[in-house]
Structure 1
Amino acid sequence: MKVFYILGMVFLLFSCSAPQSPEEIFAAARQNLKSSGQVQFRQEMVWESPSLEEFDTIRYTIDFRKNPKAFFGYDFVGSRDGFESRYVEGIEYGIDHQDSTVKTADVLDSTRIQYSMLRTFNPLVLFENDPWKYIGDTTIQQQKLLQYMWVEMDTVIMDKKVYLENHLWINPANLLPEFYSRRLYHDGQRNQLIESTYEDWVLEEKAEPFVLDFPKGYLTKVEGSTESPLLKVGTQAPDFELEDANGNLVKLSDFRGKKVLLDFSIINCGWCKIALEQFAKEDYKFADDIVPLYVNPEDSWEKLKKYQSRVTVPFPILADAKEVGKEYGVNGFPTFYLIDETGKIEEVAQGYSDEKILEWKRKSE
């Protein structure tokens, strides 16, 4: 692994005040990154899609530079094959080299950037979580690494125990993270695994601001300019016609006289899956006047059929729904629309909620 140092603080490794205990090493590693004006590294992520029993690999080269005006103190650029993500001076840019476009969004006053994959899984942010606890060490290729763990979630949702733990391995020789593992469990069984390696570190004491130089001839699109926000309660729900898994046409307006619950979901969404598991329970029945429909704006029928063989979707599946998702302003998953008997929107709910799941359930006799 290549490691580059341009920081005077490396003297800690050789001085009499060099960190000795696991807790001191963790604190020194955190300070090592936090005090740097520029932090660059290469990251390889392995992302499990448990419902499909598949793993995706994503490789990024990432450059963080301190900026007190930025959302969390840094501007950053991340590059992978054919695509770049940039967050500079409060503006997010997505540069797609395949279709020669630049998408922009003003996220200075938004929490959206908070959930960027580049931000969430990088050590600068991981170090800020507490409490990390030392749990042991290991040796990889004759190099000793110290392992620390942070429990992010330990709760019960409905009757499902959800447990999420994070592991970070630090090299005490250079005070740099080398490996990260995020493990999600449902009822004691692993539900999803995300792992990252970090290498080719470059730390600079000071950093020059990013210079925005976009490729010539690329079309710039302002994100949101062609997409509607979530529809409001009381408005007429846009009608649509989609095929179900059996090739039958399902038209929204055919359900007039009953309420329709549109469950906008995608495969790689943990809370979407939890909602489906609640709906699929033997003791869960929708209220008599509610017709539920699963609407997927993102995934192909090929993936959905594979998904359906592993995850129970207890009501009709409608795919190829990208345009429907746009019409309804869906920008996150799960999103639920409850449409009344006249075709007007009665309720809009984003994200998973125990209370909403119970609201739509048939009341006991």
Structure 2
Amino acid sequence: MKLFSALILALTALLLTHCEAPAPGENTTDAISVLEATRSKMLTTPTHHYRFTSAWDNRYSRSTWADSMDITYSWLPGSDLGFAFFAEGTGSSVLYDGKDELKIDHNKRKVIRTTAAEIGNNPDYFAHAMSFHGDPKSLPEPAAVDLVSDTIINGRKLYSYSQTTKSPAAGGPNTTYVYLLDPEQKVVDRIRKISHLGGDTSQVIDYFFTDYSFSEDLHEFGDADRHRSMAYREVSKAADKEERRSGLIKPGAQLHRADYTDINSKRQMLYGKSSKKTVIMFGFIGCSNCELAFREMKKKEFATRDDVELVYSSPVNDAAALKPYLEKKAFPFTSFGENSRMNDNFKVAGFPTFVLIDQKGTVEKVIGGYDSEVERMLF
């Protein structure tokens, strides 16, 4: 988190101290030609490779997140969708050879195969893939650009193109995309996605692109790309779903462990220490529905019923991240991070999930999401 914050501060300082406004009345003809040339390069060169880094700043949930991966992409005539790619990250990778997709989990040493038929049943299958969240091939056509300008960042001249899309839903977020292009290399240097809700900025995502290489040859996607995972066990998408759902905590389950270490390194008992029942809220930083739950509970000043005790548990975030996050939420109860290993005994299908436990460790209710039933249980 410190590294991420330092990155954001450094980038902000860089933009503030090294950016110059375009000269008044400057002709945008050259900028348009750069946009057209860059679009053509990305959409017609048979194979390209680049390093992709994304930095997320969710203003609504006051959370940040960063990720990076190496992308190799080919326009593949023999592919079912016309392309193939390999996205290699630290803990996971994705290989699509034009037919099947392999999701490779390096932590679990597992490969999940989604067949061409399964992909074909969903025309938007890759639309929300992380590797395409910020896609340098998705540059707008010149006619769709709202604003063109030039700037200098760290001594490099870049052209900036802005495009705003309005949400079709009433009251929904509007999104502004800012594309920064390198006129010398004819590549995308950065894409910034800014989400607006009402008059507020709700989220800013920066996508940075480096280490480009282009080739007129088609990349042969296959075992050579996934040499790290050749010995991993392989399962189907359906089998993986069944594995993930097996072991989910259910009403009637009897817990056999009550003690866990909280974010303050103190041993806490989930049940059996008093006549109260316990409600565990499972969530994580950046979960939008968890934020809604926190907002509704905060409206009630977290004044829970006398016969229940509320605790929070994140299977994703460690104590160092949770402490400042929960302090900002004014959450007054005991909390547990991933370090507690509580998730080993409480597997939930989604977030937030609220689990009600009686004084003897029997699970009475498991409720996904925050609704009126959860409110009646807590307040």
Check conservation: 1:35, 1:205, Cα contact below 8 A. no
* Counterparts of 1:112 and 1:248, CA distance in 2: 44
Tell me, what secondary structure is at the counterpart of 2:245? coil
| 1:210 partner amino acid | F
The answer to whether residue 147 in structure 2 is matched with residue 135 in structure 1 is: yes
1:205-354 correspondence to structure 2 within 5 Å: 207-213=218-224, 214-215=226-227, 219-222=231-234, 224=240, 227-229=243-245, 235-237=251-253, 239=255, 240-241=257-258, 242-245=260-263, 247=266, 249-251=268-270, 261-282=279-300, 292-313=310-331, 315-320=333-338, 323-330=341-348, 334-339=351-356, 343-349=363-369
1:169 to 180, 187, 194: 180
How far did residue 347 of structure 1 move?
3.5
Give the root-mean-square deviation of aligned CA atoms: 4.8
Residue equivalent to 1:87: 95
Alignment-derived partner of residue 110 in structure 2: 103
Count residues in correspondence.
Answer: 329
* Alignment-mate amino acid for residue 95 of structure 2: Y
Tell me the SS of whatever aligns to 1:309: helix
SS of the aligned residue for 2:367 comes to strand
Which structure's residues are more often helix, by fraction?
A: 2
Question: What aligned pairs does 1:11-26 form with structure 2 within 5 A after superposition?
Answer: 20=29
Cα deviation, residue 71, structure 1: 8.8
- Provide, for residues 276-321 of structure 1, a one-character-per-residue CA deviation record: whole Å limited to 9, x for no partner: 2232124776688875432211222222223223233354322346
Contact 2:276 2:309 in 1 (8 A): no
Aligned twin of 1:198: 209
- Segments of 5+ residues of structure 2 without an aligned counterpart are 1-27
Match of 2:86 in 1: 77
8 Å contact kept, 1:230–1:328:
no
Q: Does 1:123 align with 2:158?
A: no
CA gap 1:59/1:320 in 2 versus in 1, 3 angstroms? closer
Contact 2:248–2:346 under 8 Å retained in 1: no
TM-score, L = length of structure 2: 0.64
Shift >6 Å, 4+ stretches: 21-25, 49-56, 68-72, 154-157, 230-234, 253-257, 283-290
SS at match of 2:299: coil
